[in-house]
Structure 1
Amino acid sequence: MSELNALIDRYIAAWNEADPQRRHEMIASVFTHDADYLDPLAHVYGPDGIDAMIAGAQQRFPGHQVSLHGDLDVLQDHVRFSWRMAPLDANAPGAMRLQGTDFAVVSDGRLSKLTGFFDPMPEIAQKKKRGWSVESFAAFWDKPDVSLVARALTPDVVGYWPDSEPLRGIEAYTQRIAELIALVPDFRLQVAEHAANGDYVFIRWIARGTFDGAPFEFTGVDRVRMRDGLVAENRIFCDHPLIRSLAQRSSHPSSPMRDKAMA
């Protein structure tokens, strides 16, 4: 088993090896000369074909790293393992996250056949279906995409921001979030803790970003009322001036905050 673990570790390491000669040597030590490799994006043969495929992936996704996820499952000469690919810098242009599960056949200490499948990532799954969860909340605020907001809301959703009239309906709710992101493009929330009580979910979060050239960090709480897996009501509890000023823009349409956001 230790030899098989070392073999798979060497295969994963080949995905991260930047030196072409070293990478080819690693791949040749992992795969048989007639190895068959198949995944949703490629079907290649032998160490040379696999090396060229990995080189192409490295060019397409620079600055990314592949890592083994979990333990190996072994059944006679078959092995199954999962992996993840993530950017070293999550904010880099073209940053991409992937994960998958590979099934391989071992022959004389090397891989003679490998078939890979891509597994859906939580943020990808969120784009495909309606629904809300703490996990999707965290994924959204890690990389905000306003086009996803409506998928989490009931048609009659109501949002309550500090010192603001209620935001009623999907359009008003979405617009407020769009204004926040336009004002502070690097605004991010980190979920610090959460709890549920019936239809209600409470999330304490930590906000970070940059405003007027200065970094900020503050905390707040969302109380979310769920209905049929969607957000029907959200109350935000936060005393920070940024949130309060943003929330008051509708009652002060010519405020400096509004002018800055709409510039």
Structure 2
Amino acid sequence: MRTSVEKQVQYRQNRISIKPKKILYHVLVGGFAILLLYPVIWLLMSSFKVSEQIFITADSLIPNPFVLGNYAQGWQGFGDYSFGVFIKNTAVFVLFVLVGHLISCSLIAFGFARLRFIGRGFWFAIMIMTLMLPYEVVMIPQYIIFAKLGWLNSLKPLVVPAFFGHPFFIFLLVQFIRTIPRELDEAATIDGCNTFSIYYRIILPLITPALATTAIFTFYWTWDNLLGPVLYLNSPEKYTVSMALNMFLSNETVSNWGAMFAMSVVTLIPVFVIFFIFQRYVVEGISTSGLKG
């Protein structure tokens, strides 16, 4: 039996031997983090530079002179529409797509994971195969369909498909639901719950981390979506932030890089806020969905 003194000595030796490794680990991780964040830092500092000097002094992070006018100029927007209008349009766009993905993907995933029906494996394989299709393959057929429906220059072509599911999120939720014991469904059935009650009262509360992951990735992918709005939106009052940022660039006149960088920083704020608040749900949702109970 070791005495308490020997144990303390051994504990201190272990701490001394481990400490250099921890220091090296944090130095490497910190350096790698700075390397990854450098483009964001460069964007932030460039938003305080005069537009004509941004690329001339690209190797320097310190603005000289330090100007705030880029933010005021960028927020003025274009014509009668301030940049706040584009942020509001994007927020509405993201909200509808978010609700559509959460409802449709969770329902479809519940059906694949819990219900027994003819051809379930076949239809699940077809759904997974759609992940391999590039958007460019379905872009033209979808545009023709939406044009015949008279949905152009509206949010309908961008929002309505979200209420029919997304294969990536369906697969994620299916894997998560499969980790939930079926005994809970059987117990709920004995208590008088029907299929929808099992989905609403049992499954939904237990897949909160996966739903949070779905919501976060939907927010990211929708917030910076440029191709979809460019295809279907023609009126400036309906533009999203990605389209508005593109309007600062011009092939005929001088591009307003300072205002574009300033508004890029503004549009990054919600992205960082959402990430830092819900990052633990992202890790939990992705890691747990890979397990199978």
Normalising by structure 1, what TM-score? Answer: 0.21
Normalising by structure 2, what TM-score? Answer: 0.20
Q: Which structure: greater helix fraction?
A: 2
- Asked which structure has the greater CA Rg, the reply is 2
Larger relative contact order (CA 8 Å, sep ≥ 6): 2
